[in-house]
Structure 1
Amino acid sequence: MLDTFLADPLASLFGVIGMACLVSWPLFRSRTGMLTAQLGIAFGLGFHYLLLGAHTAAIMQALSFAQVLAAIPLGRRPGLYAFYLALIPVIATAAALTWSGAPSFFSAAGLAFITLGRMQTNTTALRVLMLCAGPFWMTHDWMVGSLPAFAADIASFSIGLWRVLTIRGAPAPAAAPPPAPARSAAD
């Protein structure tokens, strides 16, 4: 994996761009922030995979970029669900047309979970579905020899899991104390 990283500096540069975004998206609190970081993932890793010759993954990242653009306004514009849902069969078609065995399966399966996640307007549901995608992308990135993506997958999964556990396990905010009774002038 290190040999691949060192052999192609341009692919590695794009991989590092994608890596930075992949590691940072779980740290965002808002859905829009998380999705905006995912644009950077799709851009960086899309070119990274293309330069490595992982064509299915490169196409999955291009579709991912389009998905994010449609997903960001989903909460405000429900009419975009139709466009968003129309991308799902495109994932399967793209995987079939660029099939290269197990790596194609793992990249398509990973994007399928991500697709379901991005449809969520609840940030916890988005995070959980993104975590489900993690093992598929980790396996893919190991198989294609992508050191930046594999390392970022592990870090992103760890940070994402930590965020889900701390969000779900966080105590509810304390209720404000009742107002003190009004004092009369005689007190």
Structure 2
Amino acid sequence: MSFPFILPPAAAFLEPANLAGFVALGSSITWPLLRDRRAILGVQVLGSLLFGLHYLLLGAATAAAMCVMGALQGVALVILMDRRKRVGVVTASLLLSALVTAFTWAGLPSLLSQAGQALSAIGRLQFDTQRLRKWFLVSVVFWSTHNVMVGSVFGLASDTLSLTSLLLALWRHRAGARAARLRDATA
């Protein structure tokens, strides 16, 4: 099967699920390139809610719920400064996510979206931006597999762009650190 056959016809882009997915895709393009942790989390909250709507309209209830959980985590982590409270919120949301996954169980897609959300949650706890990016990099593997299974073209496009942006940002940081070491060595 060639790639054009998995793309929906042009009229399908006007369907509510696809419109929500298209707008959500904008956040996926933006957040990996941001440098500030709070900005990254804020844009992710918006994107999570939009992708939640997209998945709900596609009939992927677990993924929709996991997106809402991710948005709630993002809001809590932007607001809360105390590390223990942050860990408590994420732990509670992970337990709730497991319960929600059980209630909305739809087989492997449910497991994949829950695993992707759990890895993202661990990433959200990281204060170091590079560590945050690495956890999200791993979560993309689970989400992209989920998106192939549920037929989310926009989710898969988001995963592809996020993967590319994450790798670029990780490389940019590493190249900058290497240049600084070279400068220090020659000084």
Q: State the TM bucket, normalised to the shorter chain.
A: 0.7 to 0.9
State the shift of 1:32 in Å: 0.7
Whether 1:58 aligns to 2:71 is no
Deviating 4+ runs (over 4 angstroms)? none
Query: Structure 2 residue aligned with 1:15, among 21, 28, 40?
Result: 21
Q: 1:166 aligns with which of 150, 172, 175?
A: 172
> Higher Cα Rg: structure 1 or 2?
1
Deviations 1:16-70 (A, max 9, x none): 1111101211010011111111012111100000011000000001111101011
- State the Cα RMSD in Å: 2.0
**Which deviates the most, 84-93 or 6-15?**
6-15
Match of 1:141 among 128, 143, 147: 147
Report the secondary structure of 2:79's partner residue.
coil
Alpha-carbon distance in 1 for matches of 2:51, 2:162: 14
When normalised by structure 2's length, the TM-score is 0.87
1:107-118 equivalences under 5 Å are 107-118=113-124
What's the % identity of the aligned pairs? 34
In the aligned structure 2, how far is the partner of 1:135 from the partner of 1:83? 24
> 1:87, CA displacement in angstroms?
0.9
Task: Evaluate the alpha carbon distance shift between residue 157 and residue 7 of structure 1 in structure 2; reply closer, same or farther with a 3 A threshold.
Answer: closer
Counterpart in 1 of 2:3? none
Letter in 2 for 1:3: P
The residue aligned with 2:134 is: 128
Report the CA distance between 1:84 and its aligned residue: 2.3
* Structure 2 residue corresponding to 1:100, chosen from 96, 106, 109: 106
1:125-157 deviations in whole A, cap 9, x for unaligned?
A: 000000000111101111111111111111111
Higher share in helix = 2
Alpha-carbon distance in structure 2 between the residues aligned to 1:107 and 1:164: 24
Contact 2:13/2:19, CA 8 A, preserved across alignment: no
Which deviates the most, 144-153 or 77-86? Answer: 77-86
Counterpart-to-counterpart distance in 1, 2:46 and 2:31? 9
Indicate the residue corresponding to 2:8 in structure 1. 3
Matched residue SS, 1:2: coil
Question: What per-residue deviation string (whole Å, max 9, x for no partner) do you get for residues 52-107 of structure 1?
Answer: 10000000011111010112234x33233212221111111111111101110110
1:183 corresponding residue in structure 2: none
Amino acid at match of 2:82: R
